[in-house]
Structure 1
């Protein structure tokens, strides 16, 4: 078997700590040799019991077909969330007349999904720490899919807004659960790469939603009946709901997280799952798995009690409150607070600008159709659009036009993060999470300020591509940090709580653009740049989690 070469990072920081050459064994390779000294143990003083520690056991399963299948499904769960979030920003120009939307309505429609994500992320994330990652994740994906599908059939803006809110409840739950679930199946040396791959599927979702839009929205498809319209943008919404539903069904064949089972003192069930992983990865019989028992040393075991049964609503509320309060204990309050602030700043900046790119691209293409030889800045463009009469456009064209060139621009910006995603996949475990987080937020802040200065359609497209690419690195790093900074019994809850602040940032960012983009667009652009740069500097104080064992 090919061997891994590794130079320990020691205390020299994440950026210059040595090199890592990682090779992934295939299913036909033998079980990798376990080097206990390479595992960085969490600093928790618990009584030591018999058996092997979890990180040793998960390493002994090998790395092969099970993890590849797991990462693929986790990636598509992440991609389906991206599709459901971004589909709304793409359909805004097409749905403008059907739903009689103003710019403020569009801002609230973009923001309402994040309201649902804020509430749903907290509720589902806490339930994931109480009842398990897998089942709760599947329920949130189904809720996402069914509400997204239902929104394609409603005919009024208020009902459409409510169903997009419910869709956000589902998306909000699946995001923290995906990271908690997948991270607990990864050995320390592979975790950063695995989580970076899953994070990269957000780009896959961006590309898919742009392709779905290109093959549906510009065309006259669907049908009409008295009092009911099912046209191209509604067909687009129906297609966008399918990935979440398909992913939820496929997850029926995946097991619960063995680490979650271990902290619930269900050692035999956890060991059975690890044996099956070993058999799938190596092709060897179950009984040859070298680990015969598991230790809970370093983990906070929570034995099954009546509080963790599905029956009692009040007991679930109490458990949720205890988990949340634990995040602000003396040992975790600093980390929790910093993560809350950084999540707010990055999502205010990213979604504040990114959710409005499709609208700005569409306005830009319409402007150049009328003024082909005249360059215009983004702010001049919004003033131009603000002087047109939306009502007349709807009446004359039987709908607001959607330029295919604008959709192509969206597709290009969706593909642009590919190099950044590849870099994080290859180097997340070498350069470290903090390196990518700080670099990304500083560069994206500069790029956001640059939007105010561009004067041509090509310049605007290039800058949008740069902005999306550099933001991607920050999100990938933050996803790894969120899964690694908190102990197992609080992991889903911690991700959910930090994402509450992230959703607040996204809501304020999209609503701010909705209110100011037609009045004085320099305000939201400068706010985006300031928040991103501030969050980048704040990332410097976070601890290093690169290649450490989960707590």
Structure 2
């Protein structure tokens, strides 16, 4: 138990630090850069974990795995938002984010194959889990572009034009849809005139260069100062009204999700007749209908409503599971597994819907300049809560007090329903480029044709 807890805590701690750092990194160096860095890191860690000599090395590698995973999530969520067509951004983002379900199924499948007999090589398990990450890194290098919005916010007009037109062509656009360098320069100049663009974008206009490649990155001191400034901006100019409710929502949802870390131990503690690893695999399959529900409803029902629905469903499910865990002996041995699996599947569906909707909501809530940073601050808050709650859930699992643990998680879900009402819905709202005077604003443009094409592809 202590070794399992150590490894899980190491990964969560790594994701905690990475939540803040990767958000800033994605806003300073790029979404694609952060994504690739995280994938390469996790590929190395996966292979190295299979060669670990002791528990200390394995815990350290799990910490590094958390760092890499945080970078992957930060890069891919923001990038998918900024290169998706606005009319179906919610569906595209949920489809991309829900692919973690395939990862869970892959892991659960190999756990079932390797450990079902009660023995097996954990080194082999670590190695096979690294294979998808290696494949993803190769595919990202070959096919994933950088965000044109990121390039534009950094004053890299030529790069922004090239990437935007590449995306236009991939989406089936014709020559009339292609952007030109002069159009984006005129668009950016108007933003400079009213002072809503970044100092790097202002500089590219002043020096009349295509890109700021030679000045793109300053000294380490300047980058640290910029990073701290970006992090503080999510609480200034009344942006805290967006940030704080999202932080609290992430905290509540992570506290509820903390139960999922222990599903195999929960099934074992209930003394079910079915194999715990088989039940874990089957309950992971429930994320597929959760993914389909979130993807199909997010642009219709709305982001905030889906978050509330996820919390509400989790509340009911956890309450029923708590009652079941406290009175499990009253059920016949043949029905225990079915009831436990059914409740676990409902819980999984609710969490899937809630997480996908919240990730979409948080990404769309911040302006381009601090989009990854703002989301990173919110995610880091949730991970602090997730890391801390394991020190409560772990002992309860160890003492087999499952009903108490599930009841506590149920109370966190109730709090999540209340707090999520305070968030600002972003359904059918275009991504905002800047924040001025306490509200998000669009970069101005007097060219209607350019504006239409920018909303279509950029």
TM-score when scaled to structure 2? 0.82
Which of residues 320, 325, 330 in structure 1 aligns to 2:237? 330
Does structure 1 conserve the Cα–Cα contact (< 8 Å) formed by 2:322 and 2:404? no
1:535 aligns with 2:416: yes
CA RMSD of aligned residues (A): 2.2
How do residues 521-532 of structure 1 correspond to structure 2 at under 5 angstroms? 521-532=402-413
1:243 aligns with 2:132: yes
Q: Distance in 2 between matches of 1:308 and 1:437?
A: 42
Aligned residue number for residue 357 of structure 2: 477
Unaligned runs of at least 5 residues, structure 2: 202-211, 329-335, 433-458
Does structure 1 conserve the Cα–Cα contact (< 8 Å) formed by 2:116 and 2:277? no
CA separation of 1:199 and 1:280: change in aligned 2, threshold 3 A:
closer
1:269 aligns with 2:159: yes
SS at match of 2:99: helix
Q: Distance in 2 between matches of 1:307 and 1:164?
A: 37
Query: 1 or 2, which has the higher helix percentage?
Result: 2
Does structure 2 conserve the Cα–Cα contact (< 8 Å) formed by 1:219 and 1:232? no
CA separation of 1:413 and 1:521: change in aligned 2, threshold 3 A:
closer
Deviation readout 1:86-134 (Å, 9 max, x if unpaired): xxxxxxxxxxxxxxxxx34432321221110011121121011011110
Q: Distance in 2 between matches of 1:450 and 1:173?
A: 36
Aligned residue number for residue 516 of structure 1: 396
Q: Distance in 1 between matches of 2:173 and 2:221?
A: 46
Q: Distance in 2 between matches of 1:473 and 1:482?
A: 14
Select between 298-307 and 258-267 the one with higher mean Cα deviation.
298-307
Which of residues 153, 171, 195 in structure 1 aligns to 2:69? 171
How do residues 152-551 of structure 1 correspond to structure 2 at under 5 angstroms? 152-218=50-116, 232-253=121-142, 254-282=144-172, 284=174, 287-292=175-180, 293-294=183-184, 295-296=187-188, 300-303=197-200, 309-310=216-217, 312-350=219-257, 352-364=258-270, 367-368=271-272, 405-454=275-324, 455=328, 456-519=336-399, 520-551=401-432
Q: Distance in 1 between matches of 2:74 and 2:49?
A: 24
Does structure 1 conserve the Cα–Cα contact (< 8 Å) formed by 2:35 and 2:74? no
SS at match of 2:300: helix
Does structure 1 conserve the Cα–Cα contact (< 8 Å) formed by 2:321 and 2:403? no
Q: Distance in 1 between matches of 2:238 and 2:269?
A: 50
Task: Report the alpha carbon displacement of residue 523 of structure 1 after superposing the two structures with TM.
Answer: 3.4
Task: Report the alpha carbon displacement of residue 290 of structure 1 after superposing the two structures with TM.
Answer: 4.7
CA separation of 1:169 and 1:290: change in aligned 2, threshold 3 A:
closer
SS at match of 1:303: helix
Which of residues 4, 26, 31 in structure 2 aligns to 1:133? 31
Q: Distance in 1 between matches of 2:305 and 2:132?
A: 33
Aligned residue number for residue 4 of structure 2: 106
CA separation of 1:104 and 1:308: change in aligned 2, threshold 3 A:
farther
Q: Distance in 2 between matches of 1:480 and 1:186?
A: 12
Aligned residue number for residue 50 of structure 1: none
Task: Report the alpha carbon displacement of residue 283 of structure 1 after superposing the two structures with TM.
Answer: 7.2
Aligned residues: 401
Deviation readout 1:263-305 (Å, 9 max, x if unpaired): 1122222122222222233275xx4435432324676334167
How do residues 90-101 of structure 1 correspond to structure 2 at under 5 angstroms? none
Does structure 1 conserve the Cα–Cα contact (< 8 Å) formed by 2:24 and 2:376? yes
Does structure 2 conserve the Cα–Cα contact (< 8 Å) formed by 1:111 and 1:511? no
Does structure 2 conserve the Cα–Cα contact (< 8 Å) formed by 1:107 and 1:515? no
Task: Report the alpha carbon displacement of residue 136 of structure 1 after superposing the two structures with TM.
Answer: 1.8
Does structure 1 conserve the Cα–Cα contact (< 8 Å) formed by 2:323 and 2:403? no
Q: Distance in 2 between matches of 1:104 and 1:336?
A: 35
SS at match of 2:98: helix
Aligned residue number for residue 54 of structure 1: none
Select between 314-323 and 272-281 the one with higher mean Cα deviation.
272-281
Does structure 2 conserve the Cα–Cα contact (< 8 Å) formed by 1:147 and 1:163? yes
Unaligned runs of at least 5 residues, structure 1: 1-102, 222-230, 370-402
Aligned residue number for residue 79 of structure 1: none
CA separation of 1:307 and 1:512: change in aligned 2, threshold 3 A:
farther
Q: Distance in 2 between matches of 1:328 and 1:493?
A: 11
